[in-house]
Chains A and B, each alone.
Chain A
Amino acid sequence: MDIKDKVVKVLCEVNPRIWENLESDLLEEGMIDSFEIVNIVMELEEAFDMEIDPEEITPDNFKTVAAIVDLIKRNLQ
């Protein structure tokens, strides 16, 4: 499974509605609220066996699925 598929799987497990918003602005669409962000970060950290720096938990990095994929890729390097 490539990184993007894995990210999508994690996101949709936390909020199934993200499946319909793979191309949209997740924040504008209200797909990630303050409860979901905790679960998303935890699940991503577990799925990719890494830690996300709290300073990287920003609107820019979580705006879209693509932005989250980029964040993971940067961290995996």
Chain B
Amino acid sequence: MVTNVLTYLEETAAKYPDKAAFVDSKKELSFGEMLHKAQAIGSYISMNKRTHMPVVVFMEKSADNIAAFMGVVYSGNFYCPIDTEMPLSRIQVIFNTLNPLAILADKESVRRLEGLEYTGKIVIYEEAVCQKVDDDRLESIRKQMTDTDPVYVLFTSGSTGVPKGVIINHRAVIDFTDWMSDKFHITSRDNFGNQSPFFFDLSIGDVYCTLKMGCTNYIIPKSLFVFPVKLIEYLNEKKINIIFWVPSALCVVANLRALNKIKPVYLDRILFCGEVMPNKQLNVWREALPDAMFVNLYGPCEATDACTYYVVNREFADDASLPIGFPCENTDILVLNEHNVLVEGNEIGELCIRGSGLAMGYYNNPEKTKEAFVQNPLNKAYPEIIYRTGDLVRYNEYGELMYVSRKDFQIKHMGHRIELGEIETAASNIKGIETCACIYDDEKGRIILFYVGKKMEDKEVKAALKAKVPEYMIPNLVVNLGKLPYNANGKIGRKKLKEVYLSGKIEEYRGI
């Protein structure tokens, strides 16, 4: 019975001590080295004698980063990875909530923390890995751990602007990793190509499957995602056969026609999650790799990594929406309407999740936890928590879940209930529009569509939309932008867009 993620690392290190585990552009760490470093770090941090506390990991994305995570877990604490590019003011807000036991940072990154109001301990990674391993202490810490102890806390942007720390325990990580490795037949012969930052929940799948199965995980340099042909050359050079990326990364490759020139010859499983994957770009990929398996996964950070999945198994027109499919094993999805009753037919409702993969709540934030992690309204007999995602979905004629939009994107305009996501889907299929986002100006009652792509007359865009959506959903204002704002996770920053719009600075944002 596996009840601790460290067991993955220990068992794999025993089986393949010299095999490369994580490889970055500067170095690689074998499973044996990773285990030793993690135990050294665990021994160092645990000298402090405190457990069940958050330890911030502030490091450049690297193979060492994973050793640092495992080291924190050995110390009986849980890790909180923070983006080293994050503005200090936001780090401060997170620290105020987290009040960490220590910061574990590499020599280079620690300099960026100058000016932070923090009086706690700073552990330098390069020093901690030199600590002598104290087996007795690690063992006694381990004996007191259960699978309901947190492994990590990840901060996601909260709609109010205050980031929320999602707490994920061992049980949840193991539940997801076991499902993913079984479902996609992951073995020690597989080579992952990692795209997702380690402070983003999307990375959980490829990091933990690597540790569990003894794969090799190549941490792809970020700069390669700008140059798709180079990126594919890298995938081929490293013989990468499985990827789990954010759709935007796949779209860049498709949009720049790189697959016409070179094909990722080893790639046989392409998983994506984190935002909507447009079929227009997916079809380019499917045509290039007709034998590969494509999987659309869906899930919030609060459900560890993904909670539903859809193995793409039929043709889709460029302007069709891709299903998010079916619940992962040991996960139950409840689609509840506004009366908290299960939806019927193709009625739209909120996707709610039940199962071991759920987060324990938000760190040091009982109010927000109470709002989203609630008693299952269908169960009046005993305590049972479900997570309300705030995502609206419906079932299609195949019984597959279809994503509709965020609940907060649902607006009331001229008496009609409108999903802004529906307008976005329609607009993104207009020839010449690459990406787009819709916001609603509540005060003036206007729908505004922002898009990146070929400059067109407003009426041209509106006319094209008329063929796809009802009159009342046609945006009142269409704005062509040089680019859309993206948040650190690579998703379109709609909140930022609205801020810029409301401040009247949209002209500046448009460029010259």
Contacts and interface: CB of A to CB of B under 8 A. Distances in A.
Interface of A: 9, 12-16, 19, 27, 32-39, 41-42, 46, 53-55, 57-59, 62
A62 B434 CA distance: 21
Nearest to A18: B511
B275 to A, nearest CB: 13
Interface of B: 223, 225-230, 248-249, 251-252, 255-258, 260-262, 434-435, 452-454, 482-484, 486, 508, 510-512
A54 B227 CA distance: 9
Contacts of A13: 482, 510-512
Given A12-B511, A34-B225, A38-B255, A55 B248 contact: no
A57 B228 contact: yes
Nearest to A41: B256
Contacts of B262: 55
B86 to A, nearest CB: 15
A41 B255 CA distance: 10
Contacts of B510: 13
Question: Looking at A9, A34, A36, A38, which has the most chain B CB atoms within 10 Å of its CB?
Answer: A34
A13 B509 CA distance: 9
Contacts of A58: 227, 229-230
Nearest to A16: B511
A74 to B, nearest CB: 17
B258 A54 contact: yes
B482 A16 contact: yes
A57 B483 contact: no
B249 A34 contact: yes
Contact of B261 (A14, A46, A54, A59): A54
A59 to B, nearest CB: 6
27 contacts: A13-B512, A14-B482, A16-B482, A16-B511, A16-B512, A19-B512, A27-B223, A27-B226, A33-B226, A34-B248, A35-B483, A37-B226, A38-B251, A38-B252, A39-B482, A39-B483, A54-B228, A54-B229, A54-B257, A55-B261, A55-B262, A57-B227, A58-B227, A58-B230, A59-B226, A62-B226, A62-B227
B256 A37 contact: yes
Contact of B483 (A9, A27, A36, A41): A36
Given A12-B512, A16-B482, A33-B226, A54 B249 contact: no
Contacts of A59: 223, 226-227, 230
A27 B224 CA distance: 11
Contact of B229 (A15, A19, A33, A57): A57
Nearest to B260: A54
A9 B512 CA distance: 8
Contacts of B435: 35
A9 B482 CA distance: 11
B306 to A, nearest CB: 23
A35 B452 CA distance: 10
Contacts of A53: 261
